[in-house]
């Protein structure tokens, strides 16, 4: 029995009946105006924002939503703990810099609209050798950090034997997975991302093993590889996941001055592809459009 079968706490079974709530619905195209109009009810009420834009954004926003979906084929990793496997698996996520992996970006992870932290943590019971979470959290990272942001997941195995009544140091992670949030400065595409899960050697630190992971485990995972599946959704007026739009917004850094035939050809290619960029994707970063005015007329 877990925890030696003895505990000084009550063993009465848990009971839960219901949650009682009151709901009011308000209408208006601008939430600020609605709050102002109904200030008696809505002043100071924390907002839980919609995920995504319902229309062209009128406010600056830079949220990255990540859903930890599942981890599959992890039986071999879980059996590291014991022959019976762990009771629970803890997965924690944090943002580091891919060029400085020992740097952790603080207070950039939000499990809820009213909750900010340095780490996301979750606990899940194994289900037939796989782990299923379907839990969502939000990242808010500054513009200068976003191109170097590295999302690291650490796996801890837990069961009764690892926790006594006395407080103890948390056990080291047994496996990691990592995801670069940007590729060549462009944000990763919305949708599912599958990462290999790498077993950690207890003789080395996580930072020492992270480098080889980022180099060696970049290929798509094979069928039987342990895989962590994460879904991303970018909701930002600062970053874009569209390669063409990113190239256009950063043409000066990428192409330089339009003095050579090669640079002018590159710019023409970007503008040709730009016609296929979706309108809503452009509208998200409309405040950048003024930037295009600096392109000299007649130079392209």
Partner 1 sequence: MAIQANVATTTPGLGSPMPLISPTSPGKQFFPGEVPIRAHYPLSHLLINMRAFVGSICNSAHEGVELMFGLYARHEHHFISEFYIVELNHNGVPAGPRPEDMVGRIHTLFTDLTSRDVADEIYLVCRIFKTGEAKDVLRPDASSSASTHKDQSRASVLFDMARPGSGGSRLHKSTSSIIRPKGSRVSQIFQRSTSPDGQPPSPGLKTAHSVGSFGTVKATAIKGPSYRRAFGCAVLDLSKVLQETRASSGPEAGTEHIIPIFVPSQEGDFHQLHESIIESKTNKLYVLRWSI
Binding residues among 174-233 for partner 1 as defined by CB under 8 A: none
Nearer to partner 1, 20 or 297 (CB): 20
Under the binding rule (CB under 8 A), the answer on residue 20 touching partner 1 is yes
Question: Which tokens belong to 145?
Answer: 């950090």
Site string for partner 1, 38-57 (x = CB under 8 A): x--xx--xxxxxxxx-xxxx
Classify burial at 18, counting beta carbons within 10 Å of its beta carbon; exposed 0-12, middle 13-18, buried 19 or more.
Answer: exposed
Query: What is the torsion angle, in degrees rounded to the nearest 10, for the CA atoms of residue 180, residue 181, residue 182 and residue 187?
Result: 150
Indicate the length of the chain as a whole number: 300
Site string for partner 1, 81-100 (x = CB under 8 A): ------xx-x------x---
| Terminal Cα-to-Cα distance of the chain (whole angstroms) | 75
What are the backbone angles phi and psi of residue 123, rounded to the nearest 5°? -125, 135
Q: Which of 108, 157, 195, 234 binds partner 1 (CB under 8 A)?
A: 108
**By the 8 A CB rule, do 194 and 168 touch?**
no
Residue 80 CB, shortest distance to partner 1, in Å, is 18
* Binding segment (CB under 8 A) for partner 1, from list 30-38, 72-80, 172-180, 182-190: 30-38
Residues of this chain, 118-147, that bind partner 1 according to CB under 8 A: 118, 121-128, 132-136, 138, 140-142, 145
Residue 212 CB, shortest distance to partner 1, in Å, is 22
Closest by Cα among 95, 93, 98, 99 to 108: 95
* Binding segment (CB under 8 A) for partner 1, from list 36-44, 185-193, 211-219, 257-265: 36-44
Under the binding rule (CB under 8 A), the answer on residue 75 touching partner 1 is no
* Binding segment (CB under 8 A) for partner 1, from list 110-118, 184-192, 201-209, 213-221: 110-118
Under the binding rule (CB under 8 A), the answer on residue 35 touching partner 1 is yes
Under the binding rule (CB under 8 A), the answer on residue 292 touching partner 1 is no
Residue 79 CB, shortest distance to partner 1, in Å, is 17
Count residues binding partner 1 (CB under 8 A). 105
Contacts 24+ apart (CB under 8 A), 106-115: 108/139, 108/140, 108/141, 109/137, 109/138, 109/139, 110/137, 110/138, 110/139, 110/140, 111/135, 111/137, 111/138, 112/48, 113/46, 113/47, 113/48, 113/49, 114/46
């Amino acid at each position: 029995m877990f925890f030696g079968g003895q505990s000084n706490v009550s063993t009465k079974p848990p009971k839960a009946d219901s949650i009682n709530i009151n709901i009011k619905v308000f209408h208006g195209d601008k939430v600020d105006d609605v709050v102002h109009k109904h200030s008696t009810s809505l002043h100071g009420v924390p907002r839980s924002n919609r995920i995504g834009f319902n229309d062209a954004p009128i406010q600056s926003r830079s949220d990255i939503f990540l859903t930890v979906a599942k981890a599959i084929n992890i039986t071999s990793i879980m059996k590291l703990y014991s022959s019976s496997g762990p009771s629970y698996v803890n997965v924690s996520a944090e943002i580091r810099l891919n060029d400085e992996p020992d740097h952790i970006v603080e207070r950039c992870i939000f499990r809820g609209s009213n909750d900010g932290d340095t780490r996301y943590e979750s606990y899940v019971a194994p289900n037939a050798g796989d782990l299923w979470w379907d839990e969502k959290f939000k990242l808010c990272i500054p513009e200068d950090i976003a191109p170097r942001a590295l999302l690291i997941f650490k796996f801890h195995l837990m069961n009764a034997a690892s926790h006594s009544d006395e407080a103890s140091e948390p056990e080291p992670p047994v496996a990691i997975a990592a995801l670069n949030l940007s590729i060549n400065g462009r944000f990763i595409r919305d949708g599912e991302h599958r990462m290999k899960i790498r077993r950690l050697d207890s003789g080395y630190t996580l930072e020492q093993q992270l480098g080889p992971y980022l180099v060696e485990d970049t290929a798509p995972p094979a069928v039987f590889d342990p895989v962590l599946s994460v879904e991303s959704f970018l909701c930002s007026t600062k970053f874009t996941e569209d390669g063409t739009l990113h190239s256009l917004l950063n043409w000066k850094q990428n192409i330089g001055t339009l003095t050579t035939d090669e640079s002018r050809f590159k710019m023409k290619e970007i503008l040709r592809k730009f016609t296929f960029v979706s309108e809503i994707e452009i509208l998200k970063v409309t405040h950048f459009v003024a930037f295009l005015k600096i392109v000299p007329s007649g130079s392209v």
